[in-house]
Amino acid sequence: MGTGKRGLIAMAVTVVCAVTVLAAPGTAFANAGRTPSPSTSPSPDPSASATPVPSKDLEAIREKLDHLYHDAAVATDAYNAAEEKAKQQSAAIVDLAQKIVKGQQKLDELRQRAGAAAAAQYRTGGLPDEAQLLLSDNPQQFLDGAGRVLEGERATKDLIVEMTRTQQDLKQYAADAADQWNKLEAGRKSKEAARKKIKQQIAAAEKLESRLEKKEKERLAELEQEAALQAQTAWLDSGILDEINGKASELGKKAVAYATAQIGKPYEWGAEGPKTYDCSGLTSQAWAAAGHGIPRTSQEQWKQLQHVDIKDMRPGDLIIYFDDASHVGMYIGDGAIVHAPRPGRTVTITGAGSMPILGVVRPDA
């Protein structure tokens, strides 16, 4: 085996192995919602004796938690985007590595053909076919030989062209693989930065909540519910529900059935089921179960799926929330959505207008 061949194949194998390490399935992330789902408040503990935090201070804490979880959601979407790109780049590198190996095999075959032609020339005493032809005094042999010479010349030219093209292809494959490798490495760093920020924001939120007494946590949950209810009431008071009467498509019914079957399962950032979910993990898996794949992140769902007016939405459509598209829920009808809210919450049903709506997208348009 030639040095060039060993080098190219070794590179291809190294690339594939490295990709396996860099792109090993880690935790992929989606977006946590800013508004938690309503839940029944536990009974107050009469033994609690600490001085209660004033409601205005609890409201400030609620807003602070809202901000922390939102930042975690934005970082989660960045992680998800990097994760999806890494999968694509890894697949591209593996494909290029396979092309390098096949290209090298093809080049070896072409060289063998060229070597066979050279050996044949040697066996004729080193004289090329043209010279052999001129020495012939048989007319028929001369005519037959002339045809073979022309065919040989064309075959030789074709062989040279094919060898040159194959060598150029190999060079380009190697350059493309190096480019994809650099992108993959950059994406890995981006993912790690996003992962770090997610953990920091969630840790800060959990630390803030841990300082509260039991009664204060209960009151905080009430404030969260009140804020969600107030937003939902304002949305319904606009009369929008009177305009929404779309019927679910067959695929939409399947997606809704899958999503609602997950109610009660915990939120976990980066999770796509079957035991835990994040917001876009739930919606993407629900539509996958319906037989229609959609983008993994809420931001890409907003970018790539067809937009529809709120008044035209139907069960199975996805409602994208906040100006940065950092949360998503699935509309199930009657002014409600099913979604995975945020860390510390479970998949639940809540009002479609309980969070600021950016817009609606339809996976199966």
DSSP class of 50: S
Q: Which of 192, 205, 3, 207 is nearest to 86 (CA)?
A: 192
Q: Alpha-carbon dihedral of residues 143, 144, 147, 151, nearest 10 degrees?
A: -160
CA 265 to chain centre: 23
Beta partners for residue 359, in sequence order: 320
What angle is formed at CA 38 by the lines to CA 251 and CA 203, rounded to 5 degrees? 100
Asked about 327 being catalytic, the answer comes back as yes
User: Rounded to whole angstroms, how far apart are CA atoms 314 and 335?
Assistant: 10
How many CB atoms sit inside 10 A of residue 137's CB? 6
User: Rounded to whole angstroms, how far apart are CA atoms 98 and 100?
Assistant: 5
How many CB atoms sit inside 10 A of residue 142's CB? 13
How many CB atoms sit inside 10 A of residue 24's CB? 9
What angle is formed at CA 205 by the lines to CA 38 and CA 78, rounded to 5 degrees? 95
User: Rounded to whole angstroms, how far apart are CA atoms 328 and 18?
Assistant: 34
Catalytic position from the list 17, 67, 70, 279: 279
SS3 of 144, please?
helix
User: Rounded to whole angstroms, how far apart are CA atoms 266 and 275?
Assistant: 7
User: Rounded to whole angstroms, how far apart are CA atoms 9 and 4?
Assistant: 9
Query: In the chain, count of helices (H) and strands (E)?
Result: 9, 6
Q: Which of 83, 137, 39 is nearest to 280 (CA)?
A: 83
Asked about 339 being catalytic, the answer comes back as yes
Asked about 279 being catalytic, the answer comes back as yes
Q: Which of 100, 32, 94 is nearest to 339 (CA)?
A: 32
Beta partners for residue 185, in sequence order: none
User: Rounded to whole angstroms, how far apart are CA atoms 41 and 35?
Assistant: 16
Catalytic position from the list 67, 70, 307, 339: 339
Return the active site residues.
279, 327, 339
